[in-house]
Copies of this chain bind each other. A is one copy, B any other.
């Protein structure tokens, strides 16, 4: 299975989530799997790319069709996040940015 998200026709949205994990797992893996599964079942979901290094810094970028999809996912994910009280438990720090993708390229075959 490809770890790259598709490249639909722009514009579409990217949610860039950068997060520094705390050391212990504390149920994080199960939560992350559940979040990914839940995201993929939402309206307007386009795909996700995620990676994390040995130091615990992770970047997850999820892609969404439009503002309505973003709004729905914000409500669904915040509800789950609040339920699980994950923010303080799992992360030392995180940032979340919402950005409108205007253009894209892929390679290395050429642009």
Contact = CB atoms under 8 A, between A and B. Distances in A.
Counted per complex, copies of this chain come to 2
B88 A57 contact: no
Nearest to A10: B97
A63 B26 CA distance: 32
A59 B61 contact: yes
Given A52-B51, A107-B87, A61 B95 contact: no
Interface residues of A, number: 39
A93 B105 contact: no
A40 to B, nearest CB: 18
Contacts of A14: 14, 16, 97, 99
Interface of A: 3-5, 7, 13-14, 16, 18, 20, 49-55, 57-59, 61, 87-88, 91, 93-108
